[in-house]
Structure 1
């Protein structure tokens, strides 16, 4: 039997990537679901969201491959925090694929009045470049993902200003990625266009891409999954990471 190929994927980013959720088997085991109104004990927090969805999509597309997912997303992390995390990766750790993105908290902290934690755009560029330098040395292939906007269809003045700044940070991230020779998945346009299209739905139950205006709803997770998975599929990223098939005597 041919040994199964294992591909290790590192995910480094913010809470959009970490996507922590409370877990109890009573919430997922359909043979033992909790009754409505019943108290359930939360046993742990798990990372879910688009990272898990992409992982499942890759596993279905390549059942002969064992994918090992290392989700190092950090809720609340700025580029300053993630630069430190990248430097602290386990000595000798190597990955087949690394997926990286950050910036939303660098911008958001300034609007929250947390100036000491906010990261100016020049410093952001320095951290982004430093992180890519580390990831390129640690992974066979690196992909960057832009930050998602903050619910633009809500359109209060503060949100519009935050998105204007965040769009600038995304542009800097794209430039840093291009300089490092790393592909950059820009999800800003599909999120913005879809948000405005959904906003035309009538009624309070209109579907939304965000659960709270910043973090993603199930629909937002589906859209981000679609964008990332499409990039990996169309560019045959996994196929390029797989070992060349050995020739048999009959092939020679």
Structure 2
């Protein structure tokens, strides 16, 4: 964390990132970062490193797929010139294939997902970029949606490797271990939107990736 000082950290994604954030985005609005992992990360950073000034921005929008990120990439990422960029996308790209199975126009298949993802990462000039895998809170790995979500997680990893950026596998590193001790419903009642426990687990994983020191 010693290298991060007065820099802009931007999180972009879907409803998991959004988490009911205040769209006005006024700097001192207490809910401008939402009520999930982005807010937790910001609070923990400021409480642990009070002398540093972290400019944390939340650009999550519920329901987004990789297509939606592409449409708003210039406005919500490139113009803000973040130093650290975290991207979490893919859940809706998979979910639309299950909750709207006959609406093929809403489906984002692997080739489009990886191709668009690569374009977005390659356009970005952030000093550090980290891709976060999509996840599904289902301990049964043979479940059809869990299997597809795991596949899109692997696709995300492949994009990170191709573009030489960081990757965090939230499914394997965060939620699979958590499901060994907690019932799935305690982490996310609908298997998609995490409880406060699930959001804190995401925050801990990201902070560990940033070499966060709890005893600073």
TM exceeds 0.5? yes
Check the 8 A contact 1:12/1:73 in 2, yes or no.
yes
When normalised by structure 2's length, the TM-score is 0.82
Say whether residues 1:210 and 2:188 are aligned partners. Answer: yes
Query: Corresponding residue for 2:106?
Result: 117
Greater radius of gyration (CA): 1
Query: Corresponding residue for 1:197?
Result: 181
Say whether residues 1:62 and 2:46 are aligned partners. Answer: no
Say whether residues 1:175 and 2:158 are aligned partners. Answer: yes
C-alpha deviation, 1:116, in angstroms = 1.4
CA distance in 1, matches of 2:163, 2:208: 22
Change (3 A) 1:223 1:21: same
Equivalent residue for 1:232, pick from 199, 210, 215: 210
Equivalent residue for 1:52, pick from 29, 39, 57: 39
Q: How do 1:24-63 and structure 2 match up within 5 A?
A: 47-63=34-50
Gaps of 5+ in 1: 23-43, 200-205, 237-252
Change (3 A) 1:100 1:115: same
Query: Corresponding residue for 1:162?
Result: 145
Change (3 A) 1:227 1:46: closer
CA distance in 2, matches of 1:57, 1:46: 13
Show structure 1 runs of 4+ deviating over 6 A.
none
CA distance in 1, matches of 2:151, 2:141: 19
Q: CA RMSD in A?
A: 2.5
1:128-182: per-residue Cα shift (whole Å, max 9, x none)? 10111122x2x12111111122x214x598xx10110111111011111111111
C-alpha deviation, 1:94, in angstroms = 1.4
CA distance in 2, matches of 1:144, 1:162: 21
How many residues align? The count is: 198
Query: Corresponding residue for 1:152?
Result: 138
Query: Corresponding residue for 1:203?
Result: none
C-alpha deviation, 1:60, in angstroms = 2.5
CA distance in 2, matches of 1:181, 1:81: 23
Check the 8 A contact 1:7/1:68 in 2, yes or no.
yes
1:9-35: per-residue Cα shift (whole Å, max 9, x none)? 11111111111169xxxxxxxxxxxxx
Gaps of 5+ in 2: 23-30
Check the 8 A contact 1:13/1:102 in 2, yes or no.
yes
CA distance in 1, matches of 2:39, 2:79: 25
C-alpha deviation, 1:70, in angstroms = 1.4
C-alpha deviation, 1:62, in angstroms = 2.2
Check the 8 A contact 2:135/2:150 in 1, yes or no.
no
